[in-house]
Amino acid sequence: MFAFMTLAGHAQSTNKAVYFASSFEQDDWFAAWGEKTLPDNCELVSSDPERKFEPLAGKALRVKVNKDGHYGTSIDYHFKKQTGSEPEEVYFRYYIRLADDWTATQGGKFPGVGGTYGKAGWGGRPVDGTDGWSARGLFEGRKEGKTPIGFYCYHMDMKGKYGSQWVWDKDQLGYLENNRWYCIEQYVKLNTPGQADGIMRGWVDGKLAFEKTDVRMRSVDRLKIEMVWLNIYLGGTWTAKADHHVYIDEVVISREPIGVRKEK
């Protein structure tokens, strides 16, 4: 597990493998992500008894999806802007807690990674291997009190204009309950152009929940991993029937596996 220290008011890793870490303890947390102002529908909380919130470690980021709306938030960590270059593989870990009022009956988008370059790979913009790709997280409508999660991937072999939906269904690990923290870790490695060898893996609480090793995201090597996409969005075209809240904490973006955090 990586060690962290505080530097200029933000969590920083002492491990050189780590690109970025955010524990949402500082009021200006968004500045480290490259945002100039507080993103929409976001608030730091350390207490929220109305929704049965229990902290993971200090404050957490609470994201709200308003009744009759789609949008929670979209916060982007752009590799080139932050580090000067773009990787071809990355590990991305975050902790998530679905609030007591999370009752979504249909699906939407959760955090993940992408390389859309503003051209293709989201919003019904299919990809051709030269223009973009993405591998955001997804959630489906609740089933028997649990919310399935997975990858929502725009890739070269997708059918139709929208991305493929791959639920993390190994041992039912990707089925999340409300009012509980989960450690979600994603690994994405881009394919060799011309080969179907792209890798996508997902872990829940340190256990492998999904693996696919034959994904074609690109046909040219100029497409890289452009960003980590901290996205909470309901839909599609459907809207929330009530206010929904999600908590996010302990984000790490790394060149190496991250794993669950150690209790202090």
User: Quick one: pLDDT at residue 235?
Assistant: 86
Confidence at residue 15, expressed as pLDDT on a 0 to 100 scale = 76
Across 198-209, b (16+ Cβ under 10 Å) vs e yields: bebbbbbeeeeb
Q: Is the pLDDT of residue 1 over 80?
A: no
- Say yes or no to pLDDT of 14 above 60: no
In the structure, what pLDDT confidence band is assigned to residue 11 with cuts at 50, 70 and 90? very low
The two beta strands, 42-45 and 198-204, are unpaired
Structural tokens at position 50? 């109305």
Residue 264 pLDDT grade (very low, low, confident, very high; cuts 50, 70, 90): low
Q: Which two tokens stand for residue 111?
A: 């955090």
Backbone angles phi, psi at 172, to 5 degrees: 60, 25
84-111: pLDDT as tens digits: 999 999 999 999 999 999 999 999 999 9
Average pLDDT, the chain: 93
**Is residue 250 one of the residues assigned to a domain?**
no
Of the pLDDT bands very low, low, confident and very high (cuts 50, 70, 90), residue 173 is: very high
Cα–Cα distances in Å, from 164 out to 124, 153, 157, 224?
A: 11, 5, 9, 19
Number of Cβ atoms within 10 Å of the Cβ of 69: 16
Residue 97 lies in a domain: yes
Q: 78 - beta bridge partners?
A: 227
233-245, pLDDT tens digit by residue? 998 889 999 999 9
Residue 33 located in a structural domain: no
**What are 135-145's pLDDT values in tens digits?**
999 999 999 99
- Residue 88 in any domain: the answer is yes
Rg (CA), the chain: 17
Q: Is the pLDDT of residue 8 over 80?
A: no
Q: How far is Cα 116 from Cα 138, in angstroms, rounded to an integer? A: 17
Q: Is residue 50 part of a domain?
A: no
- Percent of the chain with pLDDT strictly greater than 70: 94
pLDDT at 237: 84
Query: Which residues neighbour 180 within 8 Å (Cβ) at sequence distance 6 or greater?
Result: 97, 98
Instruction: Please report which confidence band the pLDDT of residue 263 belongs to, taking 50, 70 and 90 as the band edges.
Output: confident
3-state DSSP assignment of residue 170: helix
- Domain coverage including residue 76: 65-240
The CATH number linked to 164 is 2.60.120.200
Tell me whether residue 31 is in a domain: no
Residue 57 CA to residue 78 CA, distance in Å, equals 26
Structural domain count, the chain? 1
Percent of the chain exceeding pLDDT 90 equals 91
Q: How many CB atoms lie within 10 A of CB 149?
A: 27
Q: Is residue 95 part of a domain?
A: yes
DSSP 143: B
DSSP element (H, E) containing 134: strand 133-139
Q: Give the CB-side neighbour count of residue 115, counting CA atoms within 13 A.
A: 29
Classified as helix, coil or strand, 82 is helix
Dihedrals phi, psi of 64, to nearest 5 degrees:
-110, 135
Q: HEC profile for 38-62?
A: CCCCEEEECCCHHHCCCCCCCCEEE
How many Å apart are CA 109 and CA 136, to the nearest integer? 7
